[in-house]
Chain A
Amino acid sequence: MKDEFKPRIIGFLCNWCSYAGADLAGTSRLQYPPSLLPIRVMCSSRVDPLFVISAFLRGADAVLIAGCHPGDCHYQEGNYYARRRFACVRKVFETLGMESDRLRLSWISASEGPRFANVITEYTEKIKKMGPNPAKKNIFL
């Protein structure tokens, strides 16, 4: 029998909201798949598009950027800029015929433990259906 495909998702979580949301999901003992490798960043706007592309080419099955809801960013406007940059990188992927669904932007606040668990569960399922990232085995990248 073939090993079941277990997606690996790299998550860039903003310290003030989404990382705290993840914490809350944990302390509340909510169940969600162990597919996320979280990386804490101070704000969603700290995520350089290159981080996302790098993670993808290194073989992450998906990349999630999560931050405070619009209006709640602890640096006032960071997430608005992050959203524009994300729109740009997604457009680049789409225009090149790459699977842009492997990139995701979600707003998750510190109090939204259940939402965090939902996002991870739902996204993991979606990626499972998409299958492994083809970049994983390519040696010519």
Chain B
Amino acid sequence: MKVAKIKVKDNIEKTVLSFLRETIDKKLFDAILIPMMVPAGDSYAWVLAQDKSLLDGAYYLPPIMSVQGAKALSSVTKGGKVNKRVAAIMRPCEIRAAIELSKLNQIELENIFLISMDCPGALPLKDWLKDPKRGVDVFKKVIQHFVDEEPKPDKSVRPACAICHRFSDSDAVDLHIGILGTEGEDILFIPHSTQAEAIFAELGLSLNENLSRWQKGVDEVLKQRKKKRAQVQEELKSTVVGFDKLLDTFSNCINCHICQSVCPICYCRQCYFDSDKVKHPPDDYLMRAESKGNISLLPDKILFHLGRMSHMALSCVGCGACEDACPMSIKVAQIFSLIADRSQGLFNYIAGKSIEEPLPMRVYEDDEFHEVESP
């Protein structure tokens, strides 16, 4: 594989941005979809930026994931293809969600150039909001630890990020930005499409082939994350698997459905679990109360979570958005990823990995899954 290596000037962030600026200068793209710091300086919002000057406030890798990037891209392209050439730069789990959404017809990828990066994770929104200024420094450390020749896991990232093992998955993007194993000295631009290669040629980026340092960094982080994932999932199993334990886990849930509304995969305009179908006459609730003497309201809390799982676990990308936003700090993403791993494993499917692979529920084989049939 050929890659272009760029020396970091000032810092990684600025170097990536100046690359993006150049692509606009050279008219390779008309607009860039990228997170930008909001005026109060306490968060980042997705902005579709056409003006090059706007990029001064942009961050290709912000400390938090305020809105899942696939949701932003879907907002831009849901109504059909854009007539501009847009580069969208997002974390790997956001890219994967975007791929799932394109299979679900909620994103049109034509004219969209996808860029991702090695992702160190994001800080929990709740921690960040306590002191955004401090958050910026904390995140700088996270990156330092990540790109170190001997990468160290950082405890300040979100639980979903600490166990993410697809932090450098890049099959579906046009361009991947490698920062691992570089000590923050270089950036690797790794092209994955002919369009990316053409852009390199336009920008006069020369390609060399040495990926070994980067690969070593990737392998090391992968090892760490996989270990952590196994450990967390093992612990989780003992606390949430089984109907009673599941009920217990979600007993704090206040039915706000924020987890669903921030989930990139839950794209339905009107969730079934908010529809008229789940609204019942009083007798219904009373009957349920009488059968146990006492019911917690609303009784379809657990139905909501199980239902949501069955609707979207095959496409869950483990991005952690649900958990990050849950006002009751329920481990929604960890639970959903556990279920996702299992159900996607059944179909040998990895959500968002490749655009060619069809959604498992859209295809079948004549001769399969006999084990689920009863004789």
Contacts and interface: CB of A to CB of B under 8 A. Distances in A.
B282 interface: no
Nearest to B49: A139
Interface residues of B, number: 6
Contacts of B39: 140
Interface string A2-35: 0000000000000000000000000000000000
Interface in B265-323: none
A140 to B, nearest CB: 6
Interface string A108-141: 0000000000000000000000000000000110
B17 interface: no
A50 B39 CA distance: 25
B47 interface: yes
Contacts of A140: 38-39, 45, 47
Contacts of A139: 47, 49, 54
B65 to A, nearest CB: 18
A130 to B, nearest CB: 22
A139 B46 CA distance: 10
A20 to B, nearest CB: 36
A37 to B, nearest CB: 24
Contacts of B45: 140
B77 to A, nearest CB: 19
Interface in B45-99: 45, 47, 49, 54
A36 to B, nearest CB: 30
A109 B47 CA distance: 45
B54 to A, nearest CB: 7
A102 to B, nearest CB: 21
A141 B47 CA distance: 11
Nearest to B38: A140
A124 B39 CA distance: 31
Nearest to A138: B39
Nearest to B37: A140
Contacts of B54: 139
A19 B3 CA distance: 64
B85 to A, nearest CB: 20
B222 to A, nearest CB: 37
B292 to A, nearest CB: 44
Nearest to B51: A139
B138 to A, nearest CB: 25
A140 B39 CA distance: 8
Contacts of B49: 139
A44 B47 CA distance: 36
A140 B42 CA distance: 13
A141 to B, nearest CB: 10
A139 B33 CA distance: 13
A140 B45 CA distance: 8
A138 to B, nearest CB: 9
A139 B45 CA distance: 10
A40 B97 CA distance: 43
A43 B39 CA distance: 39
A139 B49 CA distance: 9
A56 B30 CA distance: 27
Interface in B27-47: 38-39, 45, 47
Nearest to B39: A140
A81 B74 CA distance: 38
Contacts of B47: 139-140
A139 B54 CA distance: 10
B232 to A, nearest CB: 37
A140 B38 CA distance: 7
Interface of B: 38-39, 45, 47, 49, 54
7 contacts: A139-B47, A139-B49, A139-B54, A140-B38, A140-B39, A140-B45, A140-B47
7 closest Cβ pairs, A-B complex:
A140-B38, A140-B39, A139-B47, A140-B45, A139-B54, A140-B47, A139-B49
